Amino acid sequence: MEAFYRRGMLHPLLAASGVPDDPGADEPSSPRSVGHFAGMMLDPAKVDVAALPFRLPSPAPESMLTSLEAVEAVLSERAAKLGVEVRRGVEHLQAVLRRVSGTDVALSDVHLASSFTDRAMQATTYRQGRVLLAGDAAHIHPPFDGQGLNLGIGDAMNLGWKLAATVHGDVPDGLLDTYTGERHPIGAWVLDWTRAQAAVMRPDPHAQAIQAVIRDLLGTRDGTTYVFEKVSGSSLRYDLGSEQPLVGRNAPDLHLENGTRLGDLMRDGRGVALDFSTDRRLRDSATGWESRIRYAAGPARNDLGFGAVLIRPDGIVAWAGDRTPDREAFERAAGHWFGTPA
């Protein structure tokens, strides 16, 4: 949901899904829908919102019930507007059916096609030379609670800006290699998470005994918050080599006093430098990367105690400064992710 919001596609997705728009609350509130674990529904009232790291209200709902058709329609429309040619596989599927069946079967239309089972497999690397894998090409697992769709969108957000920057030659060598390094551990974790659910759902006494224990844990505030933090992505954090607790996390929707939100600044796919400090020395530094980083300054409604933050195009915090931001540290981070200044 956050990814669609930050690319200006939230409203079309809500409309395609028949969901009324919600501008969001002024303060974080308990989520209205929090999903399940192995079919055991979570109680939204038991989510400890205060325990979730760096959470701020956002126009993007925590979660939403939608259809694959609605998601695909919105993404396809966006791709078409950008001049992208989408090559679909109905011919590929026919070739596979002919090979497997040994007949000359001809497909005129496909209403539903799925190969989901309890398989859980992952490619050892997401890059081999000029070939890059994402989504179901990189990992497959049981389809529990939209985890596969969310994982694939996360892959695309991480890879897209790095691939574009590499094609344009704006970044140092090696940026594409960080794609596997950052996303492969997330994929491995999701596979284990779904394996655990598949094991609990088996119709045998051992699984049922474990399920009873988990139900007891989900009846507690700590248990529900733990599971929600995992399935919502709130606990996701890339290791970017910094001990600063915000770095490597998905940036909260920081909101300037003038009404500008972080999500509003990310729609064109550039990085964002938000400067909440009274010292505007970062402005001069950010100017060198203005084709790749959007600079915005001013007091925030909730700056979470930071003086400035640098956010990658995929929404991940690359650097965070205190009340008096270190200009040299900002320049090092900007250079690492966005190349040399123009």
Please write the tens of the pLDDT for every residue from 96-139: 889 999 999 999 888 877 777 778 899 999 999 999 999 999 99
Q: E strand or H helix at 76, and its extent?
A: helix 68-81
Q: Report which of 213, 225, 154 is spatially closest to residue 184, judged by C-alpha positions.
A: 154
Confidence check: pLDDT of 27 > 80: no
* Chain segment 146-164, per-residue pLDDT in tens: 888 899 999 999 999 999 9
Answer whether residue 327 is part of any domain: yes
Mean pLDDT over the full length of the chain = 90
How many other CB atoms are found less than 10 A from the CB of residue 179?
21
* Chain segment 167-204, per-residue pLDDT in tens: 988 788 889 999 999 999 999 999 999 999 999 999 99
User: Per the structure, how many domains does the chain have?
Assistant: 1
Q: Which band of pLDDT confidence, cut at 50, 70 and 90, is reported for residue 217?
A: very high
Answer whether residue 288 is part of any domain: yes
* Chain segment 83-100, per-residue pLDDT in tens: 998 877 778 889 988 999
Answer whether residue 316 is part of any domain: yes
Most confident segment among 85-94, 227-236, 304-313: 304-313
Answer whether residue 86 is part of any domain: no
Confidence check: pLDDT of 33 > 70: no
Answer whether residue 207 is part of any domain: no
Answer whether residue 315 is part of any domain: yes
Q: E strand or H helix at 132, and its extent?
A: strand 131-132
Question: What CATH number does residue 267 fall under?
Answer: 3.40.30.120
CA distance 308 to 279: 10
Answer whether residue 214 is part of any domain: no
Rounded to 10°, the helix 177-200/147-168 angle is 180
Confidence check: pLDDT of 209 > 70: yes
Confidence check: pLDDT of 25 > 50: no
In terms of Cβ atoms closer than 10 Å to its own Cβ (0-12, 13-18, 19+), residue 55 is middle
Q: Which domain holds residue 296?
A: 262-338
Answer whether residue 8 is part of any domain: no
